[in-house]
Amino acid sequence: MIPHLDMGRVNRPYEAELSEAAQRVLTSGWYILGKELSAFEADWARYCGTRHCLGVGNGLEAITLIFKALELPADSEVLVPAHTYIASILGITNAGLTPVMVEPDPATYTIDPQQIEQHITERTRAILLVHLYGKACDMEPIRQLAQQYKLRIVEDAAQAHGATYQGQKAGNLGDAAAFSFYPTKNLGALGDAGAVTTNDPELARRITFLRNYGSEVKYYNEMQGVNSRLDEMQAALLRVKIPYLDADNQRRQVIARRFLSEITNPDVQLPPAETWDQDAWHLFVVRHPRRELFMKALQERGVQTMIHYPVPPHKQKAYQEYNHLSFPLTEQLHREVVSLPLYPTLTDEEVDQVIAAVNAC
């Protein structure tokens, strides 16, 4: 069986270096807000090309903290794609703001720039872009709208480590970006971890306080903050993997290109080939009109698949106030999408097997 994702295998090449880093943290005797975090923040800011990086507890809290730090009026609306992982929406509502969902572009699966303007009201203050499945959003028309309507641009870059738009990295395309380093992401920790990147020094300063009880000087609190810090252990482990991220992404791209050129099953709708320069290929998502049968047939041929995601946010019980809304394309995608195995340690033979199985089903 080819598993959809095998994290043990993904981390195996780095085991010796990860153990060494873990040992270094253990013997240092310092586990929260120390030099491993500072070093990681410098490394990740350099990788993304931003002036600032702040390590936080996870990706969801990175989104929430950005929206708290932006200090938007309490009744503000935030535009967000309807086709996304629930964390994008939770990050907005956890900050006390109102998400306004927008359909995706069927050609990219990311927010449709053509459909943004019709959702703008006098309360719209920001747009949360999601570089879904590893593909950067179409920034040019979005930037024009943001400028015209004075909207802040926030990126949910949880699936787009290393993706670029016109040479610039995801994480450096708006006012601030949220990263998750959940183990399965392209750059994955061995536990929960996240970060915010930004070029805005004031925003960076506020997030530094907010993640640590709203305090700069211990026991003196400037704001009502939270406890959401990236610990020394995860920071040290992530630092080990940053130098390998580009090579890992390149391997993902080689596999994705083979899928794109060799999958010929007429019932399988392939994802768009690379639209902008660099796709992070976090997931390889195809569409099939009879998804459950297709997945079962692949399983019988030894290929495990997953669904990202089975229920759109506006149809979740957690968001009953949005259940009456209709986003036909989002709903269709949620019915049809299937993610094939795609990770750097997948061997060429396994890629052959996946292609053969998909073409035979």
| Residues making contact with ligand PLP (CB under 6 A) | 58-60, 84-85, 87-88, 130, 156, 158-159, 180, 182, 192, 194
Cβ proximity to ligand PLP, 215 vs 272, nearer residue: 272
Cβ proximity to ligand PLP, 18 vs 137, nearer residue: 137
What is the number of other CB atoms lying within 10 angstroms of the CB of residue 315? 17
Distance CA 155, CA 129 (A): 5
Cβ proximity to ligand PLP, 64 vs 212, nearer residue: 64
The length of the chain is: 361
Helix axes 15-28, 232-241, angle to 10 degrees: 150
Report the alpha-carbon angle 181-318-125, nearest 5. Answer: 70
Minimum gap (Å) between residue 156 Cβ and ligand PLP: 5
Supply φ then ψ for residue 163, to 5 degrees.
-70, 150
Minimum gap (Å) between residue 289 Cβ and ligand PLP: 25
Cβ proximity to ligand PLP, 185 vs 288, nearer residue: 185
Minimum gap (Å) between residue 49 Cβ and ligand PLP: 21
Supply φ then ψ for residue 357, to 5 degrees.
-65, -45
In angstroms, the first-to-last Cα distance of the chain is: 16
Cβ proximity to ligand PLP, 170 vs 346, nearer residue: 170
Helix axes 59-69, 201-210, angle to 10 degrees: 120
Minimum gap (Å) between residue 93 Cβ and ligand PLP: 14
Minimum gap (Å) between residue 120 Cβ and ligand PLP: 23
